[in-house]
Amino acid sequence: MRVKPFGAGGTAVAAIGQGTWKLDGDERAEAVAALRRGLDLGMSHIDTAEMYGEAEPLVAEAIAGRRDAVYLVTKVLPHNASLQGTKAACERSLRRLKTDRLDCYLLHWRGSVPLAETIGAFEDLIAAGKILSWGVSNFDVDDLDEALAIAGPGRITCNQVLYHLEERAIEHAVIPWCAAHGVAVTAYTPFGSPGFPAAASRGGRVLAEIAARHDATPRQVALAFLTREPSVFAIPKASRRAHAEDNAGAGDLVLTPDDVARLDAAFPKGPRRRGLPML
């Protein structure tokens, strides 16, 4: 599994991690087993959120006895993101996750609470040892500029955003901004929404051809493409052990320049649009 510096702090984090959105809707024992199998294979970055229902307790079960081997991330909802609300939400997440600290704590998206108030809470939580770093999610460049102006350089660890082969809008400005400011980019829903490219589609055929040359799977090729830049990570969800094993197989897959060019042509990023896509 490739590891890369995650944000300005330089913590080494697995390029391919594990997402948990809607994981609590799957069979619990198998979902826990899938997370544990992912950890066994080096996918040590586990992402969750207070919004994800029972996902935090599920993660707690999966990481029991191996917390120190996990880079653990969760998120606060915008309506909880006031100075005191953020701190209270963090304590609730810590209890559900059965841990004494978070490796990174994110604002899930912009809301009505002033950003300075949320960042102030994050900094207080760092001082108290409750979190080791903080970041944001679903932030476009103007939001990132505002956060940087409030916090100063080197404080924003990551920006978690929608990114998959058929939604590449962040390549225009968000990824370059984050690379320039030492901010990691975490791709959520990396297999697409509503679904992965069909095998019979043009893009599906290109994925299959590249996968065959590398003795890989199309999904592994997709993950390798998304994480080709040093600052970009991905957190695919896997509710079964076999899916976790497939995702982990992308961790040491390096595409050739020709592979990247073919995928770029098959899944064009298109013109820059106004507004950041999000789910």
Which residues form the catalytic set?
52
CA atoms in the 13 A half-sphere facing the CB of 274: 0
Report the distance separating Cα 187 and Cα 19, nearest Å: 10
- 3-class DSSP state of 140: coil
Among 108, 109, 154, 105, smallest CA distance to 134 is for 105
Q: Give yes or no for a contact between 119 and 147, defined as CB atoms under 8 angstroms apart.
A: yes
Give me the residues paired with residue 131 across strands. 102
Describe the chain by its helix, strand, coil percentages, rounded to 5. Answer: 45, 15, 40
Any idea which residue has 């199309």 for tokens? 218
